[in-house]
Amino acid sequence: MSKRPRRNHSAAFKAKVAIEALADGKTIAEVALKHDVHPNQVTEWRRQLIERAAGVFGGAAAPETPPVDLKELHAKIGQLTLEKDFLPRRAQQGRLAERKAMIERGHELPIKRQAELLGISRGTVYYQPEPISDSELALMRRIDELHLEHPFAGSRMLRDLLRLRGIDVGRRHVGTLMQRMGIQALYRKPNTSKTHPSHPVFPYLLRTSTVERANQAWALDITYIPMARGWVYLVAVLDWASRRVLAHRVSITMEADFCVEALREAATRWGTPEIVNTDQGSQFSSADFVAEVKRIGARQSMDGKGCWRDNVFVERLWKSVKYEEVYLKAYDSVSAARKHLAAYFDFYNARRPHQSHDGRTPDMVYFTTLPEMKEAA
């Protein structure tokens, strides 16, 4: 098999791919396949574009460069000598993709030395990832189905379940795909780690509360949605008492922004809840999401680590969404996924009877109990 030639993507190429990833209609996997790059590269370039876009409008044009002062230039030589040891240490603290992007193949400094200064191996510099295959996507969908049926199953059990169905796959590969899909086994775990100070964990406020009216408590969660080519992520805002879906968003990445947008839309359209409950995922403990909960005037609550029962109604929603909608179709684009999921939630809220509501729909329960909340206020 011939060896794939090395490639050094230009800034213009990265910008083009990142802009396409920001546009609606294509998943990360589809963009990566089109441009023959790895999905992780597309995600990283998209993130960099979002973070640096504000700088385009951030200030006045730079003044003209003054004439070079040789005396001042020579005076800085000592400072530069000290800084040359500091720079490699700082560069090595960046993300791997960012450090790899610093490599200049046409520079006089050998690539081997550049890699050493940046703290990455030469193999990482020369590695060219392959696009995700159809068989890999099919395996991810099967793992998602098994996880929905057996949420307690970890990578070992999922491996064994797949093997019983004639799919020979290793435990580590299953674990890698679970991480990519954002799913994990749900079980009680020992508290062996401390929370990072920048990611607060809030107490679970619903354990001793009786939720019996609309807008008393909302729940948010994210799930993986398989498509014909690639996948997307879905976040929903669920009213705890009525099981009504108040807002939802579809995103090609698991950033916090689409969770913030969903919560903001729900609060704008339906008022402010007393409690907003989520799991301890990084999207819901991010500074932007925590600030949005405070802005709308609600209290934030979080499930116990690995306690799926604390958010059981959202887990039941995901089961309904996938078995009644997602698994019956193969969305061919992000826009199609948004269209069909929106139609399903309209059906779910207005026309789908719920056994827990004695055959009534979520809309019936929500709007029946909503006036009671307003009168109590």
Residue carrying structure tokens 């396949």: 33
292 or 70, higher pLDDT = 292
Interval 83-110 mean pLDDT: 69
262 or 46, higher pLDDT = 262
Q: CA–CA separation, 275 vs 105, rounded Å?
A: 54
Q: What is the CA radius of gyration of the chain?
A: 25
**CA distances, 223 to each of 24, 48, 94, 265, 364 (Å):** 19, 24, 29, 19, 26
> What is the overall mean pLDDT for the chain?
81
- Could you please report the per-residue DSSP string of 205-248? -SSS----STTSEEEEEEEEEE-SSSEEEEEEEEETTT--EEEE
**Is 112 a residue whose pLDDT tops 70?**
yes
The CB-based long-range contact list for 266-270 (8 Å cut-off, 24+ gap) reads: 266/218, 266/237, 267/296, 267/298, 270/215, 270/246
- List, for residues 41-58, the tens digit of each pLDDT value: 888 888 888 888 777 666
Residue 67: pLDDT band (50, 70, 90) is low
Residues facing residue 217 across a β-bridge: 275
Q: Enumerate residues 6+ apart whose C-beta is below 8 A from 328.
A: none
371 or 248, higher pLDDT = 248
68 token code pair: 């070079």
Q: How many CA atoms lie within 13 A of 214 on its CB side?
A: 22
347 token code pair: 């059906």
Interval 57-67 mean pLDDT: 56
| pLDDT on residue 81 | 61
Q: Enumerate residues 6+ apart whose C-beta is below 8 A from 97.
A: 40, 41, 44
Highest mean pLDDT among 65-69, 175-179, 226-230: 175-179
- List, for residues 202-231, the tens digit of each pLDDT value: 888 888 778 889 999 999 999 989 888 888
State percent of the chain over pLDDT 70: 80
| pLDDT on residue 42 | 87
**Is 195 a residue whose pLDDT tops 60?**
no
Q: CA–CA separation, 33 vs 131, rounded Å?
A: 6
Architecture of domain 217-376: 2-Layer Sandwich (3.30)
**Is 277 a residue whose pLDDT tops 90?**
yes
Q: What is the layout of strands, in order, in the sheet containing 231-239? A: 245-251, 231-239, 217-226, 275-278, 299-302
113 or 358, higher pLDDT = 358
Domain boundaries, the chain: 11-51+80-126, 134-181, 217-376
**Is 375 a residue whose pLDDT tops 60?**
no
Highest mean pLDDT among 28-42, 78-92, 122-136, 196-210: 28-42
Contact call for residues 28 and 21 (beta carbons, < 8 A): yes
Count of Cβ atoms closer than 10 Å to residue 113 Cβ: 10
Interval 243-259 mean pLDDT: 92
| pLDDT on residue 90 | 56
Q: Enumerate residues 6+ apart whose C-beta is below 8 A from 320.
A: 348, 352
Residue carrying structure tokens 């968003």: 249
Query: Which range among 93-102, 141-150, 186-195, 362-371 shows the weakest confidence by mean pLDDT?
Result: 186-195
- Could you please report the per-residue DSSP string of 291-359? HHHHHHT-EEEEPPTT-GGGGHHHHHHHHHHHHHTGGG----SHHHHHHHHHHHHHHHHHT---GGGTT
Interval 172-177 mean pLDDT: 91
Residue carrying structure tokens 């909608």: 325
If we measure between CA atoms, which residue out of 177, 181, 146 comes closest to residue 164? 146
| pLDDT on residue 189 | 44
**Is 190 a residue whose pLDDT tops 70?**
no
Q: Enumerate residues 6+ apart whose C-beta is below 8 A from 291.
A: none
Residue 305: pLDDT band (50, 70, 90) is low
The CB-based long-range contact list for 172-181 (8 Å cut-off, 24+ gap) reads: 174/143, 177/136, 177/139, 177/140, 177/143, 178/143, 178/147, 180/140, 181/140, 181/143, 181/144, 181/224, 181/231
Query: Which range among 60-69, 127-136, 319-328 shows the weakest confidence by mean pLDDT?
Result: 60-69
| pLDDT on residue 192 | 32
Residue 128: pLDDT band (50, 70, 90) is confident
Residues facing residue 245 across a β-bridge: 238
| pLDDT on residue 84 | 62
Q: What is the pTM of this model?
A: 0.62
